[in-house]
Every structure is written in C-alpha cells, then in structure tokens.
Amino acid sequence: MNTSQQLAITAIAFAVSSAVSSSAYASSHREAPFITENPTVDATDFYAFRSYEAGRAGFVTLIANYNPLQDPYGGPNYFSLSPDALYEIHIDNSGDAKEDLTFQFQITHELGNAGKGIALPIGGKDIPVPLKNVGPVTDTDSSNLNFRESYTLTMIKGDRRTGEKHEAINPANGGTSFAKPFDNVGNKTFSTQAYDQYAHSFIQPVQLSGCPSGAQDGRVFVGQRKDPFAVNLGEIFDLVNLDPTAAPDAKPDALAQKNVTTFALEIPIGCLTGGNSNGIFGAWTTASLPQVSVLDPTPDKLKAKVSGGAWTQVSRLGMPLVNEVVIGLPDKNLFNASQPKDDAAQFLPYVTNPSLPVLLNALFGVTAPTNAGRADLVAAFLTGLKGVNADGSAAEMLRLNTGIAATTKASQHNLGVAAGDAAGFPNGRRPGDDVVDAELRVAMGLLCHLPLGLCTPEQAPSGMIPYTDGTPQNAGQFDETFPYLTTPLAGSPNTH
C-alpha cells in the first residue's frame, strides 16, 4: 500500500469511534419494475475481493447472485436458471468505463434418461414422472435426476458482443461444459451424502486462454447458496418503519430462510488487471435476453417459447443499492439496460441531488447535507476514492485495488475502509461487508466529517449518526474458502 492510500484510509477511519455498528439489507432484489417479471435474470448481489482463503493470495474472487427470494421448499421445479439468457461479469481495467474483459455464462437444460425424461411402466405404458428427481442424488450417482443443468464459460476480450472469444476449458474432461448441482430440495434426496459435500464437488478448476502467461487457471462454481444478505426487509420498505439509530442487532433477518443462485469465479489477479500500472479494475454484472420472444402454443418438452434477435440487457449491478435507493422510479428499467460509460450523461442528477437524505429528513427529522453537487457522493459512487481505488473514470462500478492485500476472515471489519480495513468496501466488496450502514452514512454526509476536501462538517450536521437497519452482517456468517457463501437451506424437513 503506497503513502497516498495510507493517508486516504487513515482519513476515512478518523470517524470510526463515532460511526461503527453493523447491519445490511438487500442490495438489488426486485429493484426495478420489469425485472420483477423475470426473476431468473434478476441480479441480487455482486462481490469482488482479493481471495482470503489460505494459499490463494494471487487471486480475486468475483461473485454474482441471481434469482432472489428463493423459498427452499419451492418445488417441484425449484430454481433453475434461464437457458435463454446471457449471464455476464464485466471488467474494466483501463479506466474508461468500458469492458475490457467479459466472463459470459450460458445455461443448458436437459431431461433425464438421455433427454427423453424418466418414465415409469404403468398399465403397460411408459408414463413420464412429474418430478425433477425420483430418488437419492450424490456427486457420483445422478441417475435419479430427471433434470440437469450445465453451463459454458467464455472469456471475451474487448467489446462484449464483438470482441475476441476464448472458451474456458474444463480440465476434468477437456471439454467446454461444466455441471451445475441440483438445488437443495431436501434431506431425503441427499440422504446418502450431505448437501454441502455434494455441492462442493461442483467447485471446478477452469483453464482460461487469452490471459497473460502464468495467469490462466482459476476456479468456478455455479449453484444454489444461502442468500448472503441479512435484512429487516418489510420494515425497510414500509417508509423505514424502524429506528435507524437503534441497536444494530435489534431486528430479525427477513432473508434468513431464503436462497439464491450464485455464479462464482476465482481468477488470477494478472488476468483481471491486464498488467495495468495501478492494479485497479472496475466490475459489474449483467444479464441479457434476446430482444424478441414468441410463446409456443404447443410447447415441446422444456421449451415453451422461441427467442431471437439482438441480446438486450435487462439487469445490471455494480455498487450495491444504487438502483434500489438512488435511481428514481421512472429510470429504474433504463438503469438496468444501461452501461457504465453512459452513467454521467444519464444518471448524474440522482447522485448530485439525492432523494434519500430528503426522505430520511421527512421521516426522522435528520438534516440532509447541504453541499451543492455532492462531491462526496460522486467520489463514493462514480469515481472511487482518491488514493484508494479511483481509476480516472466517472461511472457506477464496483472498483477493486488489487495492490491492497486481503484481510483474513478473522480480522475483517464489516465497515471496510471506513474502519481502516482497506481490503473491504468500497474497495471492492466482500460477503461480510456492511454496505448498507456504510452507504447510509455516506449519503447523510459522513465523508464531510473527514479531511478529504470534499465538503465540510457544517454542511452535514447529521453525518455522524450511526444509521442501521438493526440486522447484523459480518464475515463470521460466511465460509473462509471458495465460494465463501454458505450451503443453501434444504426444502425438507419443513423447518422454515
């Protein structure tokens, strides 16, 4: 860490003794009108951080979660991904808010019994079963599965649609297909093998061509996980029907019984930075669907529609909470369809004239910051923090300075940079980072109380209040090995 980084981090930590507590809420679950109609492509959370698993210091972990609010008992079809979609993670390592690398996932569905579906002989006829499995499942015996998902991974250099494509190789078989585990439907299906052991067998090595020499091997996992967010969801969106200055553990976690679907990649640092001099990259995740979709009046097996036309982006997530609580309702669908390079032209007023502080003023009487132009929010949301992770661009992305070493799980602070933990949010984002407390305080003017030259304490008289939603979030809630997010909740026994 260089001197300027140390000074910036020390400055931000200056107010910790008055500002630390813990909580978090959903960062992008059902955040825009159109995406609520398409949950399989709804990005819920996005993470980028230096891997803190022992022995993985040379890697960065990228995690994109989709398909929110999964009830574990949601059978019989559970929560497969969309075979019509492109799920993508984008990397800008040149500071122009345009993707230099894209990691693109495409999903395939297949019926059991070689695509014909498992059938039972009943009354002299073979009758297809209505369920996705007909018996126990293990990592070595999936013959009872009546439905399988797999995926391909392609790395694209340059423009996401016209750039140079490099298909990732599965070294286990030399092919380009990777298997996805069946959802955690219950303890009877996984009676002969614990689900965590089953799912972890799908953590697979991946060989990437197109990366610099010596930076071509990583790991990949796509599958169901427990939703990593903790939130008092109903009260938050009922006009913040709680005391935002109460104890940080005063409220229940509304997502405690929910799962999500995770795309996790562990990639060598040199592949992501492209050898740039500052070691910083910006990242975001998207999902796209074909522009045209026609319903089939006589669906065949797993296909109920015909899709075609140009890929059209319908979901986007970089920094957490932006579309949920920053972008105005008329522009939420547009934000999901947009790219970072266009943010300043399309959405700058939402950052320089934010509505959230005004709403909190109306609800609780706290005073909204008065600094015109909100240079503090521009730094937090659009440019990165000078001396920490600023890359010269002005766009909404999750920025990570890979030159800052990872903090071990036991030593992580859930307020990240604001508490002197330079490897945490907003320098990237780890699962245990409390992004809500951090962002609420920044929105109300915390940075004005720090010697950063962005604004003054007098312009943010409520900027030192320790806002919280009352639901705890910290690194102790997660694993310390890839993919870090924990085993999904089982659909059975019915304890939910």
pLDDT band for position 28 (cuts 50, 70, 90): low
Identify the band that residue 496 occupies on the pLDDT scale cut at 50, 70 and 90. low
In this prediction, residue 245 carries a pLDDT of: 77
Q: What is the DSSP letter of 33?
A: T
Find the range with the poorest average confidence among 20-24, 184-188, 443-447: 20-24
Distances (CA, A) of 127 to 114, 116, 200, 263, 303: 16, 11, 34, 35, 20
Contacting residues for 213 by C-beta, under 8 A, at least 6 apart: none
The answer on pLDDT for 320 being more than 80 is: yes
What does pLDDT average to over the chain?
89
Count, residues in the chain: 496
- Quick one: pLDDT at residue 417? 86
Q: Which residue has the tokens 């797993």?
A: 302
Which is more confidently placed, 75 or 219?
219
CB contact at 8 A, 408 and 50: no
Instruction: Inform me whether the pLDDT recorded for 247 exceeds 80.
Output: no
Q: What's the CA angle centered on 495, arms 491 and 496, to 5 degrees?
A: 75
Enter the tokens of residue 168. Answer: 């990732």
- pTM, two decimals, is 0.92
The predicted pLDDT at position 26 comes to 47
The whole-angstrom separation of Cα 339 and Cα 418 is: 28
- Helix, strand or coil for residue 47? strand
Nearest to 178 by CA among 212, 144, 218: 218
Q: What is the pLDDT of residue 451?
A: 85
Rounded CA-CA distance 189/163 in Å is 43
* Contact call for residues 388 and 9 (beta carbons, < 8 A): yes
Q: Kindly list the distances between the CA atom of residue 126 and the CA atoms of 113, 117, 120, 496, in Å, as whole numbers in the listed order.
A: 12, 10, 5, 36
> Hey, how many other C-beta atoms are within 10 angstroms of the C-beta on 486?
15
pLDDT tens track for 436-476: 888 888 899 988 998 888 999 999 999 998 887 777 789 99
Give tens-digit pLDDT for 413-428.
998 887 889 999 999 9
Kindly report, residue by residue over 370-384, the tens digit of the pLDDT.
Answer: 999 999 999 988 999
